[in-house]
Amino acid sequence: MEIDQHPYGDVLRKEMMPNIWCSGCRIGRIKNTFIESIQQLGYDADKCSVVSGIGCSSRIAGYLNLDTIHATHGRAIPTALGVKLANPELKVCVMGGDGDILGIGGNHFLALGRHGYDMNVFCMNNFGYSMTGFQHGPTTPLGARTITTSGGSPYAPINPVAVALAAGYTFVARSTSGHPYHLIDCMVAAMKNRGPSFIEILVPCMLYERRNKIKSLEALFLEKARIKETLSEEDIDQSDFMKTISLGIFRDAPVREKPPLAMVSSKKKAAAKKFNIKFKPRASGIKYMQIRMEGTGGQGIVQGGKTMILAAMNMDPKLNSTLTKRYGPEMKGGSCVTDVLLSSQSIDYPFVEVPDLLLMMSDIVAKERDGRVIIDNKGTIVVDESMVDLRLLENVAKTVKIFKVPATKIARENFRVVVANNVLMGFVCRVTSIIDKDCLRTAILKSAPPGTEEMNLEAFESGYKFVSQ
């Protein structure tokens, strides 16, 4: 076939040709200039990748015989970033329209300038969403008629070049489809730049011309556009593009060198003291035990439940157990409940119905239930008396055993408030003797953040030694 002898034939996907764009559309020419620029730079087709989103201009990826991805709408830049991170040697180019890159993917466009990866964004600006019949988009000029703004667009357009300059792109240029040789120069310079590059390419849309009764936008570009060597701040503005268009390279800067990261260079912590605790597994004799911890968020309720279940599993490997935590969206200060089930048989229902052992670190949960304390008749309650209103327990005081410990007060006076759960755990360990002391200590060591093991263990000891008056 004749197309096989075409000089661009190596880079074109011939089975997809002829292309789908409208008669008179100039997007195909951008494809040609891209092919020319990669041929000029001598890039290997295997080292070049094109990612595009959805839209008229995003069809370019389908016609190029490179490694291309046709991504979802507006997500061309994140997809390209993934390609770049996976293989930094690739030359990644993003082709897209103004609706794709500036409208729907606008935030990704801003973020790329901040991240500073070596990627090229070629934005074909045709003043609206032309693929679906020309709706109003972010770059539609003020007063332009589209399907959705039949009386003229009431909003001022955003200026892509100004946004790119503000976002920190190291290469920013503007060109039109009517100046393909200038565009090739811009593309070559953009691909040589080691930072994020952005080129705004003005492309005429036949639908825009028809709706706004312009004879030929291409002729208008050729007539009004001026290619300038040095551009001033006034040239950035193109809101009145029917009068003047300034083309050229607005910025071609080297990539900023990143300062060393402050977090990484901080001093290393001294190696934590190692604790050596040994324990012997033994049969616990528990048939079915329901344990509930109640309190407010931030007291370590979930952490306490985790410590307890870990210790129980260490002590008796045959024991089955579940941990269920419930807390509201208000993690710090809201009500928080942790249910722990220990059973010698398999557990069917993971929630506690009537707890055998209730650990109350706060009365907020009981107050939410109108002051009712749910506990088995032969159960045990361990109360943090510095936090709980003891009048709540008067109804159940006749049948159940109640142990009181000012865990939060001890933790606040001797250590920090965050270890109050370990103080309570130490007290529980002595008064109930469900779980061995050494097992609990091992579990605390495992779950404590590095550097705080000693404090946690001391808190546990002080709770263990506490004798209520």
Least gap, CB of 43 to another protein (angstroms): 18
By the rule CB under 8 A, 343 interacts with another protein: no
Of residues 14 and 228, the one with the C-beta less far from another protein: 14
Pick between residue 8 and residue 43 the one whose CB is nearest to another protein.
8
Q: Is 43 in the site for another protein (CB under 8 A)?
A: no
35 versus 172: smaller Cβ distance to another protein: 35
Among 10, 13, 19, 59, binds another protein (CB under 8 A): 19
The neighbouring-strand residues paired with 52 are 70, 95
According to CB under 8 A, which one of 10, 15, 17, 292 is a site residue for another protein? Answer: 17
Stretch that binds another protein, among 6-14, 280-288, 336-344, 389-397 (CB under 8 A): 6-14
Is 34 buried (19+), middle (13-18) or exposed (0-12) by CB count in 10 A? buried
Question: In the range 379-438, which residues lie near another protein by CB under 8 A?
Answer: none
> Does residue number 60 form part of the binding site for another protein (CB under 8 A)?
no
Nearest Cα neighbor of 169 from 144, 154, 146, 190 is 190
From the list 25-33, 112-120, 191-199, 326-334, the region that binds another protein by CB under 8 A is 25-33
Tell me, residue by residue from 210 to 249, as one string, x for binding to another protein by CB under 8 A and - for no binding. Answer: ------x---------------------------------
Q: What is the DSSP letter of 104?
A: I
Tokens of 330: 């208000």
Minimum CB separation of residue 184 from another protein in Å reads 8
CB neighbour class for 266 (10 Å; exposed up to 12, middle 13-18, buried from 19): exposed
Q: In terms of CB distance, is 97 or 103 closer to another protein? A: 97
Q: Are 441 and 277 in contact (CB under 8 A)?
A: yes
Pick the stretch among 3-11, 74-82, 287-295, 410-418 that binds another protein (CB under 8 A): 3-11
Rounded distance, CA 74 to CA 58, Å?
Answer: 10
H or E, element range at 455: helix 453-465
Closest CB to another protein among 122 and 466? 122
User: How do 171-176 and 245-252 pair as beta strands?
Assistant: antiparallel
Q: In sequence order, what DSSP letters do the residues of 382-448 get, joined into one string?
A: EEETTTS-GGGGGTTTTTSEEEEE-HHHHHHHHS-GGGHHHHHHHHHHHHH-SS-HHHHHHHHHHHS
Shortest CB 176 distance to another protein, Å: 13
Q: Which range touches another protein (CB under 8 A), out of 16-24, 224-232, 339-347, 407-415?
A: 16-24
In whole angstroms, how close is the CB of 71 to another protein at the nearest point?
A: 23
Indicate whether 179 belongs to the interface with another protein (CB under 8 A).
no
Count of residues in contact with another protein, rule CB under 8 A? 27
- Would you count residue 24 as binding another protein (CB under 8 A)? yes
Determine which residue in the list 206, 207, 249, 357 makes contact with another protein, applying CB under 8 A: 206
Q: What b/e readout covers 435-448, taking b as 16+ CB neighbours within 10 angstroms?
A: bbbebbbbbbbebb
Contact status: 16 vs another protein (CB under 8 A): no
The span from the CA of 411 to the CA of 422, in Å, is 9
DSSP class of 249: E
Stretch that binds another protein, among 22-30, 129-137, 156-164, 431-439 (CB under 8 A): 22-30
Given 3-state DSSP classes, what are the helix, strand and coil percentages for the chain, each rounded to the nearest 5?
35, 20, 45
Q: What are phi and psi of 354, to 5 degrees?
A: -125, 110
Q: Where are the beta strands (DSSP E) in 63-190?
A: 67-70, 91-97, 119-125, 171-176
> Alpha-carbon distance 127 to 298, whole Å?
53
- Is 65 a residue that touches another protein (CB under 8 A)? no
When binding is defined by CB under 8 A, the residue of 62, 106, 116, 180 that contacts another protein is 180
Q: Does 36 help bind another protein (rule: CB under 8 A)?
A: yes
Q: Per rule CB under 8 A, is residue 8 in the interface with another protein?
A: yes
Residues of this chain that bind another protein (CB under 8 A): 2-3, 5-8, 12, 17-19, 21-29, 31-33, 36, 180-181, 206, 216
